[in-house]
Amino acid sequence: KQDKEQSKQEKRLANEQEKRDRKNDRRSRRGALPPEHTSGTSLTPKEIKRKQNERKRQLDQHQVVSAGKVRAIRIGIALWWLGLAGAAYYGFITGRLEDLTYSIPVLAGGVMAAIQSVLPWKKLSVRPVGKIASLLGILGALGVVTTLAGHVESTVIVFSLYVVILAYGSVLLPLWGYGISALAAVGVYAAITWIATPIIGLDTIIPVASLTVISMAIALTNMELLRYAREAARRLVRLELQQEGLRDRQKDLEALYEVSRTIGAGEAIDKVIPELIERTAGYVNAKVGVMLLYRPTEEILDALSPIWAAGQPLEADGYNLPLTSKSGAVWAFRNGQPIAINEIPEGVTDPLIRDLGVERVAAVPLQIENRTIGVMMVADKPTDFDEDDLKTLELLAAPAALVLQSVVRLEASHETGRKMSELAQMKSDFVSVVSHELRTPLTSVIGALSTMSRPELAPSNPTAASLLDSARSQAHRLKVLIEDLLTVSKIDNKALPQRSEVVEVQSFLSEMLTTGDNWDAVSIDASDMLSPIHIDRDHLRRIITNLVDNARKYAAESTIEIVAMETNGRVRVSIIDHGPGVPFQYRETIFERFTQVEAAGTRGTGGTGLGLSIVRELAESMHGKAWYEPTVGGGATFVVEFPAAEEDLAVA
C-alpha cells in the first residue's frame, strides 16, 4: 500500500512537470530564419531530468525518514508492552492487581498499546493524522505513569519514566506536539509532587525545575539535531546533483577526448575530416555531417568533401553557400552563435539541405581566437535538436576548428609551394638560357684573346700586353662563373650527367698537382695503398679545384695541403689551409648558395658564393658528403668523403 501511494505521488508530480514542460516548449523557438531567441523559462531535457532526479531524491529521503519513524514507533510499542508486563508482574507479586486504582491504569495501558499496535503506521507516518496518533500515544503513556505514581514509593522512578517518555516523544513528534507533551508532563509532575508534599520548598521546587530544564534541553537538542539532519540532507542532495553534473561533464569530456584522439591519430587531413564529422554527428544522433570552410576572397562557405551521410562518406565537390544566402550555416557564421532548425521553412537556398532532403539542421561556428573560419553542420536527427545538442556541438567545435585551420594552412602551404616551385623553375630556366647564350660568344672571345697572345701576334707595347693579360684573366673568370651557373641549373633540374669510373685517388691528385694552374703552394699527402673510388672524374676534379681555389682566395699567404686517407671503407680527402678560417657565425651556412664570408660591398676576393654549394651538391650526387672543420692552430679544413670502390660497386 505504501509503495502504491508513493507511486501515485511520483506520477502526479511527473504529470505536473510534463504539463509545465509542454507549456514551456510551446513558448520556445521553432527554427525560423533568422531565429527569434526567446527568453522564456523552457528547460532543456538535461535540466528537466536533473529536476526530476532532485524531486525523486527528496521523496526518497522523505521515505527514509518515514521508515525511520515507523521503526521507532514499533520499538516504542514493544517497550510499552514490556513495561506493562513488568507493571502487571509487579502488581501480581505485591497483590496490587486487586486494587482498581492500579489494575485499571494497567488495563487501559494495554488497550492503548493494542490500538497502537494495529494502526497502519506506514501509511499514517506520511500524513498529519499520524502525528496526532503519536501525540495521543505519548499523552496516554504519561497518563498511565501518572495514575500509577501513587503506588510507587519513590518519585525518582516517576521522574525517570517522564524523562524517558519525553525523550522518546521528541523523536516522534513535531515541535508543537513535543511542547504539549512536555507541558503536560511538567504540570502533572508538579501536581503529584505538591500532593505528596503540600508545603512548597526545595523538595518540591527542585524536581519540578529539573524536569522543566530537562524537557527544554531535550527540545533544544532535538531541534539542533533536526537542523543538522536537514543540512546534511541538503548537502547530500547537492553532492548528488554535483555528482550527476560531473557524470554529464565526464561524458562531454569523453566525447571531446575521442574527437581529439581522432585528430591526433589521423595521418592526413583528408582522412581525419570524415571520421571527425562521423563522431561529432554520432554524439547528437545525427545522420548527416559536413564542415564548411570560409573563402574570404569569394565570400562563400565551401563544403569540404567528403561529407558524412547515412553512415558513410560521400564525395560532394562543388557545394558552396554565398554569405547572402538564406541558410542556417550562413546565419551561424555571421552571428557567431549556434542555431537549431527543427522545421525547414520555405525559401531556403541551401543546396545541401535541398539535395540531402533533411528535416532538421543544427549549425555551430568554428572559431579560432575569436575569428570565425567556418561552420560545422549536422542534420537528419530522428528527434528535434535541443539546447543540449547545441552545447555538445559547441564543445566539439573547438577541435574541429583546429582541423579546419590545418586544412587552411595546408592549402596555403600547397599554394605557396606551387608558386615557389614555379619561381624556382623560371629562375633555373632563365639561368640556363642566359648561361648558354653567354657561353657561345665568350668562347669566341677567349679564343680570340688566346690567338692574340701568341708570340707572333702579341703586342710589343707593354701596356697593351698588360691589358691583353687582364682581358684573358677576366674572360677566364667569367667562364668559371658561367660554368658554375650551368652546373647549379643542371643540379636543380636533376639533369647533371654522371659518368662514373674507377679512380685511383693518389694518381688523380698527383695529376691535378702537375697540371694545375698556380698550384705551387699546394702539397699532397696520399698513400699508394688507398682504395679506388667509383666516381665521375670530371665532378671530382671540379670539387678539388673549387676547394683549392677557395683556399687560395681566402688564405693567399698560406700553404695548402691535400691529405687523403681511408677510414672504415671510405676515402676522405681534406683540403687544409692556415689562413684566417671561417668565422663561427658562418659555419652553419658556408655550404649554402651565394654565401660568402665578407659582405658583397666590401669584399676584395670576388666570387659568386656558389663554389662550396657546388662542392657539397656534387659530392652528395655521388653518394658522398662534404663538411667543414677548423684547422688546428688556425685556418680552415674542408673535407669530402666517398665510399671505396668495393663498397660502392657492391651496392650497385
Give the pLDDT mean for 130-158.
Answer: 78
Is the model's pLDDT at 507 over the cut of 70?
A: yes
Asked if 455 and 402 sit in the same domain, the reply is no
CB 622 within 8 A of CB 647: no
Q: Specify whether 505 is located in the same domain as 628.
A: yes
The lowest-confidence range among 456-460, 462-466, 507-511, 575-579 is 456-460
Q: State residue 205's pLDDT score.
A: 75
User: Which residues fall within 8 angstroms of residue 178, CB to CB, at 6 or more apart?
Assistant: 166, 169, 170, 218, 219, 222
Residue 479 within any structural domain of the chain: yes
Residues 408 and 481 in one domain: no
> Residues near 555 by Cβ (< 8 Å), separated by ≥ 6?
577, 578, 579, 580, 635, 636
pLDDT average, residue stretch 622-641: 93
The rounded Cα 82 to chain-centroid distance in angstroms is 68
Provide the number of structural domains found in the chain.
4
* Mean of pLDDT values over 478-493: 78
Q: Please determine, for residue 67, whether its predicted confidence score (pLDDT) is greater than 80.
A: no
Q: For cell 673568370, what's the residue?
A: 477
Residue 508 and residue 363 in one domain? no
> Is residue 593, in this structure, part of any structural domain at all?
yes
pLDDT for residue 343 is more than 90: no
What's the CATH code of the domain at 595? 3.30.565.10
Residues 468 and 548 in one domain: no
Q: What is the DSSP letter of 607?
A: -
Question: Are 83 and 222 part of one and the same domain?
Answer: yes
> Within this chain, do residues 519 and 471 fall inside the same structural domain, yes or no?
no
Residues 55 and 201 placed together within one structural domain of the fold: yes
Query: Per residue in 297-321, pLDDT tens?
Result: 888 888 877 787 877 777 777 788 8
Per the model's pLDDT, the better-predicted residue between 39 and 257 turns out to be: 257
Query: Whats the size of the chain, residue-wise?
Result: 652
Which residue among 427, 460, 490 closes a domain? 490
Q: Are residues 480 and 519 located together in one domain of the fold?
A: no
Which of the two residues, 270 and 523, has the higher pLDDT score?
523
What's the average model confidence in pLDDT over 270-287? Answer: 75
**Position 76 in a domain:** yes
Give the cell for residue 569: 671503407
Choose the final residue of a domain: 235, 252, 271.
235
Per-residue pLDDT, averaged over 52-69, amounts to 61
175-196 and 128-148 are packed helices; what angle lies between their axes, rounded to 10 degrees? 10
Q: What nine digits make up the cell of 422?
A: 614555379
- Kindly list the distances between the CA atom of residue 105 and the CA atoms of 95, 169, 535, in Å, as whole numbers in the listed order: 15, 20, 128
Tens-digit pLDDT profile for residues 225-259: 777 777 877 777 777 766 776 666 666 556 555 65
Residue 438 inside a domain? The answer is no
- Averaged pLDDT for residues 492-498: 80
Domain range enclosing 302: 281-416
pLDDT one-digit tens code per residue, 548-557: 988 988 888 8
For residue 194, give the 3-state DSSP assignment: helix
Which of the listed residues 490, 523, 550 is the one where a domain comes to its end?
490
In a domain, 11, yes or no: no
Q: Are residues 407 and 471 in the same domain?
A: no
Note whether residue 301 is domain-resident.
yes
In 3D space, the residue among 321, 359, 319, 318 whose CA is nearest the CA of residue 340 turns out to be 359
The CATH number linked to 333 is: 3.30.450.40
Kindly state whether residue 607 falls inside one of the protein's structural domains. Answer: yes
- Find out whether 142 and 134 touch, Cβ atoms under 8 Å: no
On whether both 74 and 216 belong to a single domain, the answer is: yes
Q: Which residue has the cell 536537514?
A: 230
Q: Are residues 57 and 180 in the same domain?
A: yes
User: Model confidence at 51, in pLDDT bands (50, 70, 90)?
Assistant: low
- Is 264 a domain residue? no
Strand pairing of 300-303 and 320-322?
A: antiparallel
Residue 39: the pLDDT is 34
